[in-house]
Amino acid sequence: TVKETQANIEGYELEYVKMNGSEVSEGTDKAYTSNTVLTKDGKTVTIEDKYKEIIETGDLTIKKTIDGENITEDDLKNLKFTVQNEDGKYLYKEDGKVKTSKDKVEIALGEFDKNNDGTYTLTFEDIEVGKYTVKETQANIEGYDIEYVKMNGSEVSEGTDKAYTSNTVLTKDGKTVTIEDAYKVQTGDLEIRKTIDGENITEDDLENLKFTVQNEAGEYLYKEDGKVKTSKDKHEIALGEFDKNNDGTYSLKFEDIEVGKYTVKETQANIEGYELEYVRMNGSEVSEGTDKAYTTNTVLTKDGKTVTIEDKYKEIIETGDLEIKKTIDGENITEDDLENLKFTVQNEAGEYLYKEDGKVKTSKDKVEIKLGDFDK
């Protein structure tokens, strides 16, 4: 009697046992038995065991959490991940089924399910247990700095491949890999620098110049007690609120404001008594809009942004005729007597006016006009 008393192999299912070519069943003694007769010619007993590997499977879930203010679904589109098994093959899902590829396959966050608590999950169902590598290959969001990436509760650093990596072991009980990204809005300084080009323009003339600054939400920015404020209502900033620099320019800086798109307008550029020749914003000449303002759109980054505005003016000089009329009252006064009568005429700048060849001239030096130069 020949028995195979232990035929089981861990991790494998025994499909059958054949003894002398015939399949036999396990007996009550948990053994497989063959009875044979040995003669003088000898006897060979054949035992054939067939096994099928038992592949244990489990569910691998990636759970993604986003921590940051004002992050939109559009912002999250660029986040990408990879999942690799022990053979280095990339896992992905297609039509709800798990697939593998030797080529790199990145999974976008948009392929995850969004949960009621605001987290995102992706589950690979019934995959072979073993070691897996999960990576967040793209974690950056434009306009935000990454404060940290935590995987399974521990903070991880960006690798040389620019990815954040976690190695995990999947068992038949399943495994959840948690990934938490915390973001902070990037900020920068937005400066408006104003240049005035024109003669005889005074600080009083400049009082009427006004500006607005709006963020992407349409809110108006202004400063109060040195701090940046916002308002849903239109808020114009007078040039008098700017700082005057040593080079004669004017500047106003909004410090540590959120990066993004901003609209800067000069809503009032006219100065009484002057013609506005042009307005240049960031070096390019701009036209007055239908809202009577001059507008530039700009993008603020964390490195800061300066918007330059240059206004050029030409003084409008109004003219008139100034006449001096001289009357002489006295007896026996002759023309010769009148030759010594002299006059001066000065403008606001203190310059002396006189006429030469019928044209009006000015001089910083004193010029006296004789009565003989008058028309009688």
What does the block give as tokens for 165? Answer: 């990596």
Residues 105 and 162 in one domain: yes
**pLDDT, tens digit, for every residue of 330-359?**
888 888 888 889 999 999 999 999 999 999
Average pLDDT rounded to a whole number, residues 147-155 = 97
At 17 the pLDDT is: 95
Flag whether 125 is in a domain: yes
For residues 210 and 309, membership in a common domain is answered with yes
Q: Produce one character per residue of 86-117: b if its CB has 16 or more CB atoms within 10 Å, e if not.
A: eeeebbbbeeeeeeeeeeebebebeebeeeee
DSSP 187-209: EEEEEEEEEEE-TT--HHHHTT-
Tokens of 321: 């005729």
Same domain, 255 and 296: yes
Whether residues 179 and 202 share a domain: the answer is no
pLDDT at 359: 94
Q: What is the largest CA-CA distance in the chain?
A: 185
In a domain, 330, yes or no: no
Distance CA 328, CA 345 (A): 19
Residue finishing a domain among 152, 185, 218: 185
Exposed/middle/buried for residue 264 (C-beta within 10 Å: 0-12, 13-18, 19+) = buried
Per DSSP, the three-state class of 370 is strand
Per-residue confidence band for 317, with pLDDT thresholds at 50, 70 and 90: confident
Does one domain contain both 355 and 283?
no
CA–CA separation, 342 and 346 (whole Å): 14
pLDDT of 287 above 90: yes
Domain membership flag for residue 144: yes
Q: Rounded distance, CA 278 to CA 214, Å?
A: 23
Beta pairing, strands 90-94 & 210-214: unpaired
Q: Can you tell me the distance from the alpha carbon of 213 to that of 315, in angstroms, rounded to the nearest whole number?
A: 29
User: Is residue 321 a part of any domain in this protein?
Assistant: no
Do both 154 and 217 map to the same domain? no
Q: Please answer whether residues 314 and 274 qualify as being in contact, where contact means their C-beta atoms are separated by less than 8 angstroms.
A: yes
Return the amino acid letter for 25.
S
Q: Which two three-digit tokens encode residue 178?
A: 């948690």
Domain boundary among the residues 154, 185, 216 is at 185
User: Which tokens hold the place of 220?
Assistant: 């108006």
User: Is residue 263 situated within a structural domain?
Assistant: yes
Task: Name the strand (E) or helix (H) holding 338.
Answer: helix 335-338
User: What amino acid occupies position 166?
Assistant: S
342 with 368: CB under 8 angstroms?
yes
Q: How confident is the model at residue 316 (pLDDT cuts 50, 70, 90)?
A: confident
Least confident piece of the model among 85-89, 252-256, 270-274, 285-289: 270-274
- The number of domains in the chain is 4
Rounded to the nearest 5°, which phi and psi values hold at 219?
A: -75, 145
- Answer whether residue 164 shows pLDDT above 90: yes
pLDDT above 80: residue 92:
yes
The closest alpha carbon to 158, from 137, 178, 141, belongs to 137
Q: What domain range includes position 44?
A: 2-53
Indicate if 361 and 290 belong to the same structural domain: no
Residue 70 has pLDDT above 80, yes or no: no
Residue 124 CB: number of other CB atoms within 10 A?
Answer: 22
CB-count burial class (<10 Å; 0-12, 13-18, 19+) for 83: buried
* Contact status, residue 236 vs residue 207, Cβ threshold 8 Å: no
8 Å CB contact between 311 and 197: yes
Residues 130 and 227 in one domain: no
Over residues 73-97, the mean pLDDT reads 94
Give me the pLDDT at residue 302, please. Answer: 92
Q: Could you give the percent of the chain with pLDDT greater than 90?
A: 84
Mind listing the pLDDT tens digit for each residue in 169-186? Answer: 999 999 999 999 999 999
| 147 and 191 part of one domain | no
> Is 328 a domain residue?
no
Instruction: Check residue 315 and give its pLDDT.
Output: 86
Does residue 207 form part of some domain?
yes
Is residue 324 in some structural domain? no
